[in-house]
Structure 1
């Protein structure tokens, strides 16, 4: 059952997160270095998010619903302590965000 939740979570959260990051870095005119960091960020964070989703079905469900409904910014799921992610979050942070 946990593998099923991880799979659904990947479709509903991780894939849109990857697409959102790619679009925002493109729109921001990100440098090659930032684009590479964003790819490293997703590569390191996606497995952690999927593992958490498989182990915590409640978190996976509420997070997937929040992201799908637009209540949760998928970027908020990234670990800002990860150096690759901190640069990315700083780039795509919107005015007024509390990131």
Structure 2
């Protein structure tokens, strides 16, 4: 087994906030902790994140390179080329 020389630093969210999220939104402790760690400071913030609407999603074309990426995908589709999609575990965190 390879032992890491790195030490994890786990931040603990505010217990009062976690309890408020649990109570107000009827969430499990782990869900409330995750929301608090994601920056939800009120039950309203958490509710907004949990019940997103299409109107609250950012325009993907605001991301650098999106226009070029779409053009390249369209070109690959037209030519029948294979497309490889790669993303890391945090690929969806552009909202935060």
Taking structure 1 as the reference length, the TM-score comes to 0.27
Structure with higher Rg: it is 2
Bigger relative contact order, structure 1 or 2 (CA pairs below 8 A, ≥6 apart): 1
Q: Going by fraction, where is helix more abundant, 1 or 2?
A: 1
Please give the TM-score of this superposition, normalised by the length of structure 2. 0.27
